[in-house]
Amino acid sequence: MKRAERLHTIVEMLRRSGVRGSAEHMAIEFGVSTRTIKRDLDSLESSGAPLWSRLGPGGGYGLATVDTLPPVSFSAKQVAALLAAVAASPDAPYSDMASTAIGKILDAVDPRTRKQAFERANRIWVNTPPVSRRATMSALEETMADQKVVRITYISGNDTHSERTVEPILFGSTAGFWYLICWCQLRKAIRLFRLDRIQSATVTSRPCSGHTISEVGQPPEHSRPALPKYRSLDTEETDGHH
């Protein structure tokens, strides 16, 4: 059994309800050494798998049920598409997390699929400037997720520097640029700040006052939330009732 297949099988073995396996038992099951199994478990944990371990009699390894997903298969075309999308949008919010997710997918797919995906992605060239604002972007991503007030330093189109205290509402992309759309406490109104012009961002401990997406108004033409086209939140919420 190849390593990628073994890693997948280990996850599925531990995913089954009530199953707790020792490294020694898994080594016998897969016909490898205990040291190899422990390296596999370390790799799974490093890739984000929610593993837990207990020492002593009755101990072993298990997989937490929170935040886990059922097995998902990716074709070479799908992996190449994801590689292209992430490579073409290094300045998008959460782009570094997307890159991490791609890495997990590449670790999980079989070597043949990975090779085919690389061959396809090698025929896709992107021309994007390097992004050196990771600390600022991380702060903006944090404040959006936690809905905390943030202080930003901003340079306008005419090179005017200003300090603003804002409440994030959403990220928006239009005309090739990403924007932070927020409630500006100075102007007492909704304002847009281009992400590449935000020089610094400091997240405060103060919660936002509750401004909603509806206050922003209608999105530009051809704009839409970053949700799958085939499924809406309403569909997801009602799935359990059918």
DSSP secondary structure of 104-127: HHHHHS-HHHHHHHHHHHTT----
Considering the chain, what percentage of its residues have pLDDT values greater than 70?
85
H helices within 47-172, ranges in order? Answer: 76-88, 95-108, 111-121, 134-146
Q: What are phi and psi of 99, to 5 degrees?
A: -65, -40
Residue 229's pLDDT band, with cuts at 50, 70 and 90, is low
pTM (2 d.p.):
0.64
Confidence at residue 134, expressed as pLDDT on a 0 to 100 scale: 78
Which domains, ranges and CATH numbers included, belong to the chain?
3-63 (1.10.10.10), 76-121 (no CATH), 134-215 (2.30.30.520)
Considering the chain, what percentage of its residues have pLDDT values greater than 90?
43
Q: Could you tell me whether strands 161-174 and 189-194 are parallel, antiparallel, or unpaired per DSSP bridges?
A: unpaired
Beta-bridge partners for 189? 184
Q: Which of 63, 61, 47 is nearest to 11 (CA)?
A: 63
Beta carbons within 10 angstroms of residue 5's beta carbon: 12
The angle that helices 134-146 and 95-108 make with each other, rounded to 10 degrees, is 90
Residue 240's pLDDT band, with cuts at 50, 70 and 90, is very low
Calculate mean pLDDT across residues 215-228: 83
**pLDDT digit string (tens) for 112-145?**
999 999 999 999 999 887 666 778 998 999 999 9
Q: Is the pLDDT of residue 19 over 60?
A: no
Give me 26's structure tokens.
């898994």
Residue 16's pLDDT band, with cuts at 50, 70 and 90, is low
Confidence at residue 67, expressed as pLDDT on a 0 to 100 scale: 52
Q: Which amino acid is at 242?
A: H
With b for 16 or more beta-carbon neighbours within 10 A and e for fewer, the 131-170 pattern comes to: bebeebbebbbebbeeebbbbbebeeeeeeeeebbbbbbb
Give me 79's structure tokens.
């992996």
Most confident of 50-64, 123-137, 194-208: 194-208
Beta carbons within 10 angstroms of residue 233's beta carbon: 9
Q: Is the pLDDT of residue 97 over 80?
A: yes
Confidence at residue 70, expressed as pLDDT on a 0 to 100 scale: 58
Confidence at residue 165, expressed as pLDDT on a 0 to 100 scale: 98
Confidence at residue 7, expressed as pLDDT on a 0 to 100 scale: 81
Give me 49's structure tokens.
């798998």
H helices, E strands: number in the chain = 8, 7
Q: Which of 83, 196, 185, 191 is nearest to 131 (CA)?
A: 196
The angle that helices 95-108 and 76-88 make with each other, rounded to 10 degrees, is 160
Q: Which of 184, 155, 158 is nearest to 169 (CA)?
A: 184
Range with lowest mean pLDDT among 18-22, 100-104, 226-230 = 18-22
Please tell me the distance from the alpha carbon of residue 161 to that of residue 181, in angstroms, as a whole number.
Answer: 18
| Higher per-residue pLDDT: 30 or 192 | 192
Residue 34 parent element (H or E): helix 34-46
Confidence at residue 232, expressed as pLDDT on a 0 to 100 scale: 43
